[in-house]
Structure formats: structure tokens, C-alpha cells
Amino acid sequence: SQQGEEDPQALSIQEGENATMNCSYKTSINNLQWYRQNSGRGLVHLILIRSNEREKHSGRLRVTLDTSKKSSSLLITASRAADTASYFCATSYGQNFVFGPGTRLSVLP
Amino acid sequence: EAQVTQNPRYLITVTGKKLTVTCSQNMNHEYMSWYRQDPGLGLRQIYYSMNVEVTDKGDVPEGYKVSRKEKRNFPLILESPSPNQTSLYFCASSYAGSNYEQYFGPGTRLTVT
């Protein structure tokens, strides 16, 4: 199993600060995706980075991928209270997806 | 509206009583998956399907069955549920053109007593 693992497990920051979450995985991947989940609801896709890419941006999100270290990071800039949620990385090889346990982000107003 | 629907959303049942959780998508996606989510463990893939009549095991398939007779539907069957299958279940669909970005259903909370 190419288990992904996020770090930290939980993160609390003030509104306006940046939040960084890390993800590590174990085996070769086609791509790595980040998802967001609000309290018990379905996951929502945020951003995908392919294995041959090193960095990708989408709005306030910045994702990096280091395949040599088998790690990725998600940066949320200028955080808002509405960013409070759990964030998961997911690695895939074909249709076999592996999600990490997630990082619980709390953005305090 | 493009969506993945699951039914029921909540279910309390007893050990050994067969149940089916339905999943349907209206986006003509060829790929569908089932996951269970447990505290501290993230999401674990149960089964996935690459197209009609094509299914494969994920990481935790024991105790579950699936079928894909139509492209839009991918039901999850628990023939003899046990308390360790109490969990939050998600269905998801995707297609190759999006690099398999997954669209998730709202979840089904299952309790087996």
C-alpha cells in the first residue's frame, strides 16, 4: 500500500496567516491530489499535480511535489475562517487511490 | 446539476442483515469507487470499477461486494454486516480526461449493532 500521510495532524492559525500541510507517500505515483472535507461531508477536489510537475498554483493554493523525497506540500495563503476543514492528499496509480489520514485545519477569526 | 448521489444517507442495522448502499452519477464517468472513512485512518478504498462489468479490489475489500451493471450505478453490498463495518462510506466517480479527479457523493453513515 502506498499510504500517504499528512503532517501535521492538526493545525490552528489566525485568519490572514498562511497554512502549510505536508504529505509523504511510499511508492511511485501518476499524480498527487489534494482534497478538502468539511465536517463529515464529501471530499472536494482542490488541485492535482502530475508526477512530472514540481509546483502548481490555483488561487490561494500552492502545491509542490518532490518525487525524490516522495513528498508534497499544500500552502494556503491569507487564510480565512471558511478554510477551516480537513485536508487530505491522495496518491494514485491507475485507479487505485490512497488517501492519507488528513490534516485538520482551524482558522481562528 | 452534475453530482454523485448516495442512498441512504444514514442507516442503522443489525449484525448479519444484508444491506445495499446505492451510488449513482450523472456525469457519464467511466470510473467509480467506494471508500470508507474511519477516525485517524483517512479514506480507504474498498472497490473500484473502471467500466461496466469491470471491478477490482481496493485496499479493504473484505466483507463487501460491488457490481457495475450500468455505467451510472455502482452499488455497495454488505452480505452480512458486522460491527467493524460501522463507518462513513463515500462513493466517488472520475474520468480519464480529468486525470481521475474524483467527484464525491455526500456520504452514508452506517452503524451496525
What are the start-end ranges of the E strands in A15-93? 19-24, 31-37, 44-50, 55-58, 61-66, 71-76, 85-93
pLDDT value for A3: 56
**Cis, peptide link before residue B8, omega less than 30° from 0:** yes
Mean pLDDT value of segment A52-72: 96
CA distance B14 to B16: 6
How many Cβ atoms sit within 10 Å of the Cβ of residue A35?
24
Q: Which residues of B fall within a CB distance of 8 Å from A50?
A: 99
Of B59, B100, B103, the CB nearest to A95: B100
What is the nearest CA distance from A47 to chain B, expressed in angstroms?
9
Mean pLDDT value of segment A5-33: 91
At A44, phi and psi to the nearest 5? -120, 130
* CA-angle at B90, arms to B28 and B92, nearest 5°: 20
On the question of pLDDT at A1 being above 60, the answer is no
Task: Please tell me if residue A2 touches chain B, with a CB cutoff of 8 Å.
Answer: no
What is the nearest CA distance from B16 to chain A, expressed in angstroms?
26
Of B31, B58, B107, the CB nearest to A42: B107
Give the chain A residue whose CA is nearest to the CA of B101: A45
CA distance A42 to B104: 5
Residues 6+ apart with CB under 8 A from B62: none
On the question of pLDDT at A2 being above 60, the answer is no
Residue B92: pLDDT band (50, 70, 90) is: very high
CA distance A22 to A15: 20
Pick among B7, B37, B55, B57 to test the A interface (most A CBs inside 10 A): B37
**Is the backbone of residue A51 left (phi > 0), alpha (psi -120 to 50) or beta?**
alpha
* Mean pLDDT rounded to a whole number for chain A: 91
**C-alpha cell of A83?**
478554510
Q: Do B101 and A48 touch (CB under 8 A)?
A: yes
On the question of pLDDT at A44 being above 50, the answer is yes
Residue type, A102: G
